[in-house]
């Protein structure tokens, strides 16, 4: 992309953004932008000394640039008039100025990059903590891809402008005024021509804004759709391969590429036409200034050096004006990104009950998990759990059974305190009778093995130490033995330090489940939740694992969701989740259900 095209795009974006700002002012929503920038400045203010230093360097760089231009003008005049006795002084000054500008430019670039990284890390760290502590229902309104886009893309936009925006305005204004004053000092008419060229280009580009905005929007939308398809395809690669539909997805990929190509080429053609128009206008203004300089030179009113200075600074003045205009879309884009980040920051927080830590001293006795008259719905008016009770005591294995989609996983979420009952209570009860509502601070008393493959890339030991960072190799091996995973891990070349692929690649589903169970065993929490966690194990291994877990800590409370009759035979209590009701089954009903399975 050449300089004229860049300038045209900056002009268009600047005027478009200015129109948006004016509209926001009229409709009363400008305050939102102010609030967004107030939030950004809470991070910027941490680096105020560096910002001031950045501004000073930028202004000094402008002064030295203008000084170098004036010296160059004098050098040309000396050469053309053959005053060689002064030439060496000017050469030294020009070289010194160039070195000075190069040094200052490098310092500004370094400072800007460091500040951008620092503020990006600050914001990301804060946002990460807030996302992790967000209410489960609130955060799940956002797709994972959207959260990642905000966490990376929007934070990057904010961090790149949070430090540089104010200095850029001050430096650009200073540069514009200083450059104009230098030209005005030598020739007022030339200063007016140079001043008029930038606004003239800007006014002309305004007629092209609407079409450019439409094309730009279409390209971004198509790009997002293509990226969504790519992410979903790669994430579900195993499923696609299993169904043998790789060629079908290959055709879909090419279809999306074709759509993206079509809209991109249309936008490109429009940009080429726009560039031609703006280039013609730019050349007209340039030739006007050049013609004026030639006329003044012809009449001996200026020197060759002055002519060079005029033409050079005319371009600088136009660039300075463009820089000022381009700050507006950066200002607006940062506001939009900040608003998107603030939406995540302002999500409801998880409930924390500090008194939960008082239960720790009763961990050895085990805990009772209890629900009374619980009602819950994800969507208002559509109950998932209705008027239900549940109880699991220390030393027991308690099962939750029922058809898929009836609410078993919802019960697990209620027990973990990820969601809270609309009516009734879900509590954890200590041996002294103290009860605490399930919340984020009771979760450390639980070890959880969810459905699906939850193994992360890395070594087996790294996966295990995820729940207990200071675990010794001996403790890890003992947990693997309890889950019956050591029998295959010990045969691996590096045992617990053997590498695991992404999502447990290299292990069977049953092996991955046993490692996940071992991880929960290593945590050794008083309450263990197994959500279909033994579905891939054979009956003998399954029974052995569950017996080992209970023997590890006799007072452990074990809650399982399952369809396996072998598990039901080991349970002291069985609850059926069906048609929004959680009902305890009698011993006879449990036996009959085990037979029916």
End-to-end, the C-alpha distance of the chain in Å comes to 68
Angle ∠(186,187,190) on CA atoms, nearest 5: 130
Low-confidence stretches of the chain (pLDDT < 50) are 1-18, 20-22, 25, 27-28, 595, 597
* Residues of the chain above pLDDT 70, percent: 76
Q: Which residues of 65-80 are buried (b: 16+ CB within 10 A; e: fewer)?
A: bbbbbbbbbbbbbbee
Contacts of 199 (CB under 8 A, 6+ apart): 321
pLDDT in tens, 509-529: 778 888 888 888 888 888 988
Number of C-beta neighbours around residue 31 at 10 A: 11
DSSP 100-161: HHHHHHHHHHHHHHHHHHHHHHHHHHHHHHHHHTB-HHHHTTS-HHHHHHIIIIIHHHHHHH
Beta bridge partners of 578: 581
> At 557, is the secondary structure helix, strand, or coil?
strand
Q: What backbone phi and psi angles, to 5 degrees, belong to 540?
A: -60, -45
Strands 573-578 and 581-584, how do they pair?
antiparallel
Rounded Cα distance, 533 and 540, in Å:
15
Angle ∠(329,10,192) on CA atoms, nearest 5: 115
Rounded Cα distance, 206 and 200, in Å:
10
Question: Which residue do the tokens 């200095």 mark?
Answer: 167
Number of C-beta neighbours around residue 93 at 10 A: 17
Strands 385-392 and 368-376, how do they pair?
antiparallel
DSSP 434-485: -EEE--TTTGGGEEEE-SS--PPSEEHHHHHHTT-TT--HHHHHHHHHHTT-
The pLDDT, as a whole number, for residue 297 is: 76
pLDDT in tens, 43-68: 777 777 877 877 887 787 778 777 77
Contacts of 209 (CB under 8 A, 6+ apart): 12, 15, 16, 19
Taking the complete model, does pTM exceed 0.75, yes or no?
no
The pLDDT, as a whole number, for residue 29 is: 53
Contacts of 446 (CB under 8 A, 6+ apart): 415, 416, 525, 527, 528, 529
DSSP 586: P
What strands lie across the sheet with 397-401, from one edge to the other?
Answer: 446-449, 527-531, 557-561, 397-401, 573-578, 581-584
Q: Which residues of 282-294 are buried (b: 16+ CB within 10 A; e: fewer)?
A: beebeeebeebbe
| 434 φ/ψ sector (left φ>0, alpha ψ -120 to 50, else beta) | beta
> Considering all CA atoms of the chain, what is the largest pairwise distance in Å, rounded to the nearest integer?
115
Question: Which residue do the tokens 């203010």 mark?
Answer: 45
Q: Where are the alpha helices (DSSP H) in 538-586?
A: 539-552, 565-568
């Amino acid at each position: 992309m050449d300089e004229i095209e860049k300038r045209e795009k900056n002009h268009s974006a600047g005027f478009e953004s200015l129109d948006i700002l004016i509209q926001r002012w009229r409709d009363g929503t400008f305050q939102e932008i102010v609030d967004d920038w107030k939030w950004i400045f809470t991070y910027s203010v941490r680096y105020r000394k560096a910002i001031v230093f950045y501004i000073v360097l930028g202004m000094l760089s402008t002064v030295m640039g203008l000084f170098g231009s004036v010296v160059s003008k004098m050098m040309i005049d000396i050469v053309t008039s053959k005053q060689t006795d002064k030439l060496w002084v000017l050469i030294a000054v020009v070289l010194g100025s160039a070195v000075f500008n190069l040094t200052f430019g490098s310092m500004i670039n370094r400072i800007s990059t460091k500040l951008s990284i620092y503020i990006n890390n600050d914001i990301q760290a804060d946002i990460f903590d807030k996302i992790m502590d967000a209410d489960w229902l609130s955060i799940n309104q956002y797709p994972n891809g959207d959260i990642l886009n905000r966490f990376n893309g929007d934070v990057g936009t904010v961090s790149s402008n949070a430090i540089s925006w104010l200095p850029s305005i001050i430096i650009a204004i200073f540069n514009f005024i200083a450059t104009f004053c230098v030209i005005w000092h030598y020739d007022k008419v030339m200063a007016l021509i140079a001043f008029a060229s930038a606004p003239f280009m800007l006014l002309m580009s305004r007629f092209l804004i609407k079409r450019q905005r439409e094309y730009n929007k279409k390209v971004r939308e198509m790009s997002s759709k293509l990226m969504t398809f790519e992410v979903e395809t790669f994430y579900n690669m195993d499923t696609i391969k299993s169904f043998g539909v790789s060629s079908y997805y290959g055709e879909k990929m090419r279809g999306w590429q074709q759509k993206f190509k079509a809209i991109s080429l249309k936008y490109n053609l429009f940009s080429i036409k726009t560039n031609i128009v703006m280039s013609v206008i730019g050349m007209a203004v340039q030739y006007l200034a050049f013609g004026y300089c030639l006329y003044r030179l012809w009449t001996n009113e200026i020197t060759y050096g002055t002519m060079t200075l005029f033409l050079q600074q005319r371009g600088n003045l136009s660039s300075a004006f463009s820089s000022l205009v381009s700050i507006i879309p950066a200002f607006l884009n940062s506001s939009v990104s900040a608003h998107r980040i603030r939406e995540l920051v302002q999500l409801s927080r998880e409930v924390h009950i500090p008194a939960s830590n008082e239960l720790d001293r009763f961990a050895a006795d085990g805990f009772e998990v209890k629900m009374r008259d619980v009602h819950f719905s994800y969507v208002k008016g559509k109950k998932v759990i209705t008027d239900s009770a549940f109880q699991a005591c220390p030393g027991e294995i308690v099962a939750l059974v029922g058809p898929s989609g009836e609410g078993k996983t919802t019960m697990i979420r209620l027990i973990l305190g990820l969601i809270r009952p609309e009516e009734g209570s879900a509590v954890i009860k200590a041996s002294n009778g103290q009860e605490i509502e399930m919340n984020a601070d009771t979760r450390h008393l639980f070890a959880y093995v969810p459905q699906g493959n939850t193994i992360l890339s890395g070594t087996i030991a790294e996966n295990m130490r995820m729940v207990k960072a200071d675990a010794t190799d001996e403790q890890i091996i003992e947990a693997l033995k309890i889950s019956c995973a050591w029998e295959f891990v010990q045969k691996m070349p590096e045992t617990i330090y053997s590498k695991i692929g992404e999502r447990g690649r290299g292990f069977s589903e049953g092996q991955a489940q046993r490692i996940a169970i071992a991880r929960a065993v290593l945590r050794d929490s008083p309450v263990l939740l197994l959500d279909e966690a033994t579905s891939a194990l054979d009956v003998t291994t399954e029974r052995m694992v569950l017996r080992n877990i209970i023997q590890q800590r006799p007072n452990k409370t074990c809650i399982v969701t399952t369809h396996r009759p072998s598990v039901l035979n080991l349970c002291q209590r069985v609850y059926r989740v069906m048609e929004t009701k959680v009902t305890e089954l009698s011993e006879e009903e449990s036996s009959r259900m085990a037979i029916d399975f």
